[in-house]
Amino acid sequence: MLTSHPTPTSLRRPEPISGAGKHRLLTGKSASFRPRLVRGGVRALISSGDSKTGVEIAADQKFIENNGSVVSSSSSLNVRAVITIRKKMKEKLIEKFEDQWESFINGIGKGILIQLISQDIIDPVTKSGKIAESFVRGWLPKLSGSPNVVQYGADVAVPQDFGQPGAILVTNFHDKEFFLMEIVVHGFSNGPIFFWADTWIHSVKDNPQSRIVFKNQASLPSQTPPGIENLRHDDLSRLRGDGKESRKLHERIYDYDLYNDLGNPDKNEGLVRPVLGTDERPYPRRIRTGRPPTRTDPNTETRIEKPHPVYVPRDETFEEVKQNTFSAGRLKAVLHNLVPLIAATLSKSDIPFTNFADIDNLYKDGFLLIDEDRKDGRKNQILTSAMKQMFTVGDRLLKYDLPAIIKRDRFAWLRDNEFARQMLAGVNPVNIELLKELPIVSELDPAIYGPPESAITRELLAKELNGINVEEAIKDKKLFILDYHDLLLPFIEKMNALPDRKAYASRTVFYYGENGILRPIVIELSLPPTDSSPRNKFVFTHGHDATTHWTWKLAKAHVCSNDAGVHQLVNHWLKTHACMEPYIIATHRQLSSMHPVYKLLHPHMRYTMEINALARQSLINGGGIIEACFSPGKYAMEVSSAAYKSLWRFDMESLPADLIRRGVGVEDPSVPGGVKLVIEDYPYAADALLVWSAIKELVESYVDHYYSEPNSISSDPELQAWWDEIKNVGHHDKRNEPWWPNLETQDDLSKILTTMIWTGSGQHAAINFGQYPFGGYPPNRPTLMRKLIPRVGDPEYEKFLQNPELTFLTSLPTKLQATKVMAVQDTLSTHSADEEYINQLHHIHRLAFNDSEVQKLFEDFSVKLEEIERIIHQRNKNVELKNRNGAGVPPYELLLPSSSPGVTGRGIPNSISI
């Protein structure tokens, strides 16, 4: 078996092979290939374990070229490999010296060894492909079009009977890693051969194994050329690891673990959090880091706190452009978080908004560091001066950009029709459902949560519909509901016991009128039953008197708070970020990089694991920003787990299936996506179906191309292992559910892949990049409420009657909470400069296929998305579509495929990259 382990002693710089010398690469501890040049022909042996026996390739010295190439006969072909390496954009002085040293080492031919492996010609002894090798040589690397990209050359002499290379082994003898973009081999009869890499090559100091880079050609397992079949298995085995030890940052090992790293019991009892991924609290799996358990809880993994990096496989980390963008975003978040924290410390209290001018000043004047009531003026002057020096800004450190929702109409958020419009065209347009029957009934245990019937009765609806027959409205599909009752009610008592948190479980009923406008008509807010109030359900309508007018506003704010929490914890984090991670892990563990499904999915996996690791470190962790600023507080991830348990199922993550399940669409094969919308002017769904159908068309054509033979799906061992692992390991807690699709036919595979690609691209874009445009104005979308709605007899009721505006504003998040959320939403809504969008022809698709038919599929897909962009622009100009056009109404652009960098409120990246 041919594998690729230079030996630990190769940490010493090897001497180049010459006519007077020999070069030896010793083995590691697993079966390995180790060339050794001797006189007297070619012979080879299989090595295993720590055996001293190794594979020996011998050649008469007169056939050993000065550049170190191995030649196995008197006639050979000279080929040239061009190695493209990306350098750092910003280097420290010491790194520049290190680069000069590396260039010197490469120049004398001792830095990078490449070994070409024949895919066709089998060595009769090793039973694997023949090998030709050479060190990279050249004193001055060739500069490419980019100042940070350089190219080196390696001249390789290969036997005339070598055939075509199918893989290259790369060994890095430098002291540190380097980023290999690609290798192109020139000199073979049918043109240059591309070896796409885009990978970090570790130093032999860290790992003696050579890296395996395959030719850019998609191959099913059964089509693997015989010379590289062993390498295909070997590469996957390395990526899986052994499930032991703590992972090191240079490694590329993909394995699974529970969400047991969110709490920090060693720090204090207040940061204890339950493990997610158990029978009681099911959850998808995350990447395993292997860190040791905490001292106080053996079930909790020790944490790595920022700014120290959390392990993800090396190639999953941010590239430098992304790191710079994200660092800038983090700096902005520091400004936005640290300054209010300092101000709060100086004033000894967290300050609520007391009038709307306080909010407006965030966008006009900003939030001042200097506290007018400071007692120690000198101390604060020093602090202010230090902040100025650190950030080179003036006193106004907290000035926000005006969010899109109030940029055109600052009072839009007050109106009922805007409240309803955002359920169809806002940042969370995926929870509204058709109200199919009355009475509305809870599925919670009535012995614990009280009578199951909702307080929203047929009679109440009839009153609010002004004479419209309720039964006819239901039959004509005019009534819709936003129902968070059953998900939230089990947590309300614990949430309301937290300081300054007050929440209800909510239901909201909407009416879709003949004028095409959706409007809310009834809101139900529920608390857990008590002995004195076994039916703690309160109903609100918009009314006409002043008091009802304000209580209606407060009720809508509570609904928005619930919607913000469900959006962030369920639809955004759980259903896109967390659920994609097991797909990514399984893809690397079970699908070779040669596999056509791997090549299809690869662009849709970029950066996701890194952003998830950062979220576990700072956002969803115990004491993190989500807990600090959203209603569920320390129970946030338990709410997310409850949603996974009761709501998530893979087959319903398909866009058409979700729309049909919610009753907002009906099956219709004659329209894009196969679904006709019940509300025609539903911007999210209408645009999403266009993108979904384009993805579906691409995937179906792609699958048909590679799996044209009968039983080719069921007989693909890598593919079957991949799907089996996703179901049984990645989503272990759901492994026995009957709704998992089978994977036997082309149609099965197409549906699975379309759902995954849609989840990581269009679905995430639709619910992520509108976070600041909609949530950047706290009254429009408060992430928590701090007070229950005053009722007659409550101590706060008289204050409410005297100053309802103050009651409303002091019920919203404080200035500190609001600015924290705004900073995070601003960062999460930002496209980096190196974003890869779904309408762009990805480089892996441009280079990875020698098949013109497959290349045309991706070119046609890009053209299709350009057409979709034109259609969306036309829709946004259509005056008949009132949910995306009108006085002060922002256009719906979240599903426009392209975008420029920054907070644009548009653009579909290939992957969950932020």
Please tell me the predicted confidence (pLDDT) of residue 429: 98
CA angle 551, 555, 559 (to 5 degrees): 170
Instruction: Work out the pLDDT band at 200, boundaries 50, 70, 90.
Output: very high
Pick the catalytic residue: 602, 764, 842, 845?
Answer: 764
323-341 mean pLDDT: 53
Please tell me the predicted confidence (pLDDT) of residue 245: 92
Q: Report whether pLDDT(738) > 70.
A: yes
Q: Report whether pLDDT(876) > 50.
A: yes
Query: What's the pLDDT tens digit per position in 222-273?
Result: 999 999 999 999 999 999 999 999 999 999 999 999 999 999 999 999 999 9
Please tell me the predicted confidence (pLDDT) of residue 834: 87
368 φ, ψ (degrees, to nearest 5):
-80, 140
Q: Report whether pLDDT(52) > 60.
A: no
Give the CA distances from residue 792 to residues 525, 715, 858, in Å, rounded to whole numbers and listed in that order: 16, 70, 64
Q: Report whether pLDDT(214) > 50.
A: yes
Least confident of 47-56, 693-702, 741-750, 863-872: 47-56
Q: Report whether pLDDT(106) > 60.
A: yes
Instruction: Work out the pLDDT band at 458, boundaries 50, 70, 90.
Output: very high
Q: Report whether pLDDT(896) > 60.
A: yes
Q: Report whether pLDDT(625) > 70.
A: yes
456 classed as catalytic:
no
Pick the catalytic residue: 260, 768, 839, 885?
Answer: 768
- Taking the whole predicted model, whether its pTM rises above 0.85 is answered as yes
764 classed as catalytic:
yes
Please tell me the predicted confidence (pLDDT) of residue 124: 84
Rounded CA gap, 762 and 765, in Å? 5
Least confident of 67-76, 374-383, 564-573, 741-750: 374-383
Instruction: Work out the pLDDT band at 53, boundaries 50, 70, 90.
Output: very low
Strands 518-526 and 433-434: unpaired
419-423 mean pLDDT: 98
The secondary structure of 613-639, three-state, reads HHHHHHCCCCCCHHHHHCCCHHHHHHH
70-92 mean pLDDT: 75
Across the chain, mean pLDDT equals 85
Please tell me the predicted confidence (pLDDT) of residue 903: 92
Least confident of 49-63, 207-221, 537-551: 49-63
Please tell me the predicted confidence (pLDDT) of residue 578: 98
Class of domain 76-219: mainly beta
Q: Report whether pLDDT(821) > 50.
A: yes
Please tell me the predicted confidence (pLDDT) of residue 38: 27
Please tell me the predicted confidence (pLDDT) of residue 148: 83
Give 52 or 697, the one with higher predicted confidence: 697
Q: Report whether pLDDT(853) > 50.
A: yes
Rounded CA gap, 547 and 537, in Å? 19
Instruction: Work out the pLDDT band at 96, boundaries 50, 70, 90.
Output: low
Contact (Cβ atoms closer than 8 angstroms) between residue 188 and residue 215:
no
Instruction: Work out the pLDDT band at 672, boundaries 50, 70, 90.
Output: confident
Domain ranges across the chain: 76-219, 430-568+781-813
Closest CA to 252 of 200, 304, 213, 301: 200
Contact (Cβ atoms closer than 8 angstroms) between residue 254 and residue 236:
no
Rounded CA gap, 153 and 137, in Å? 6
Helix, strand, coil percentages, rounded to 5, for the chain: 40, 15, 45
Rounded CA gap, 535 and 450, in Å? 6
In the block, tokens 């990581």 appear at 760
CA atoms within 13 A on the CB side of 561: 32
Instruction: Work out the pLDDT band at 50, boundaries 50, 70, 90.
Output: very low
Contact (Cβ atoms closer than 8 angstroms) between residue 613 and residue 310:
yes
Q: What length is written for the chain? A: 914
Query: What's the pLDDT tens digit per position in 349-385?
Result: 578 999 999 898 888 866 554 433 343 444 444 444 4
602 classed as catalytic:
no
Please tell me the predicted confidence (pLDDT) of residue 349: 55
Rounded CA gap, 194 and 181, in Å? 11
What angle do helix axes 852-876 and 683-706 make, rounded to 10 degrees?
Answer: 170
Pick the catalytic residue: 485, 542, 558, 572?
Answer: 572
Residues 6+ apart with CB under 8 A from 431: 423, 482, 484, 563, 566, 571
Rounded CA gap, 33 and 17, in Å? 17
Strands 137-143 and 518-526: unpaired
Give 483 or 87, the one with higher predicted confidence: 483
* 380-389 long-range Cβ contacts below 8 angstroms, 24+ apart: 380/346, 383/342, 387/339
Please tell me the predicted confidence (pLDDT) of residue 351: 86
In the block, tokens 């292997």 appear at 290
880-907 mean pLDDT: 96
Q: How many other CB atoms sit within 10 Å of the CB of residue 130?
A: 26
Q: Report whether pLDDT(54) > 80.
A: no
Please tell me the predicted confidence (pLDDT) of residue 314: 95
Give 189 or 306, the one with higher predicted confidence: 189
Q: Report whether pLDDT(675) > 90.
A: yes
The dihedral region occupied by 191, where left means phi > 0, alpha psi between -120 and 50, and beta the remainder, is left
438-450 mean pLDDT: 96
Instruction: Work out the pLDDT band at 342, boundaries 50, 70, 90.
Output: very low
H helix runs in 41-120, sequence order: 93-107
Give 710 or 88, the one with higher predicted confidence: 710
Contact (Cβ atoms closer than 8 angstroms) between residue 335 and residue 398:
yes
577 classed as catalytic:
yes
Please tell me the predicted confidence (pLDDT) of residue 335: 43
Chain center to CA of 85: 27
Least confident of 8-22, 414-428, 436-450, 639-653: 8-22
SS3 575: helix
Query: What's the pLDDT tens digit per position in 149-177?
Result: 889 999 999 998 899 999 999 999 998 99
Computed from CA positions of residues 763, 647, 492, 797, in that sequence, does the dihedral angle turn out positive or negative? positive
Q: Report whether pLDDT(25) > 70.
A: no
Instruction: Work out the pLDDT band at 806, boundaries 50, 70, 90.
Output: very high
DSSP structure string for 477-506:
T-EEEEE-HHHHHHHHHHHHTSTT----EE
Pick the catalytic residue: 183, 228, 912, 914?
Answer: 914
Contact (Cβ atoms closer than 8 angstroms) between residue 694 and residue 864:
yes
- Residues 903-914: b if buried by 16+ CB within 10 A, e if exposed: bbbbbbbbbbbb
CA-CA-CA-CA torsion for 266, 270, 275, 276, nearest 10 degrees?
-140
Q: Report whether pLDDT(5) > 50.
A: no
* Percentage, residues of the chain above pLDDT 70: 81
Q: What is the CATH number of domain 430-568+781-813?
A: 3.10.450.60
Instruction: Work out the pLDDT band at 9, boundaries 50, 70, 90.
Output: very low
Q: Report whether pLDDT(346) > 50.
A: no
Rounded CA gap, 595 and 213, in Å? 13
Please tell me the predicted confidence (pLDDT) of residue 366: 62
Q: Report whether pLDDT(14) > 80.
A: no
Please tell me the predicted confidence (pLDDT) of residue 396: 41
Query: What's the pLDDT tens digit per position in 490-499?
Result: 999 999 999 9
778-788 mean pLDDT: 97
Contact (Cβ atoms closer than 8 angstroms) between residue 3 and residue 23:
no
Please tell me the predicted confidence (pLDDT) of residue 91: 62
Please tell me the predicted confidence (pLDDT) of residue 367: 54
Give the best-scoring range by mean pLDDT among 136-140, 330-334, 471-475, 615-619: 471-475
Chain center to CA of 844: 19
Closest CA to 218 of 859, 844, 861: 844
Helix (H) or strand (E) holding 44: none
Identify any residues that bridge with 902 across adjacent strands, giving them in sequence order.
831
Pick the catalytic residue: 577, 595, 842, 845?
Answer: 577
Give the pair of three-digit tokens for residue 591. Answer: 């699908």
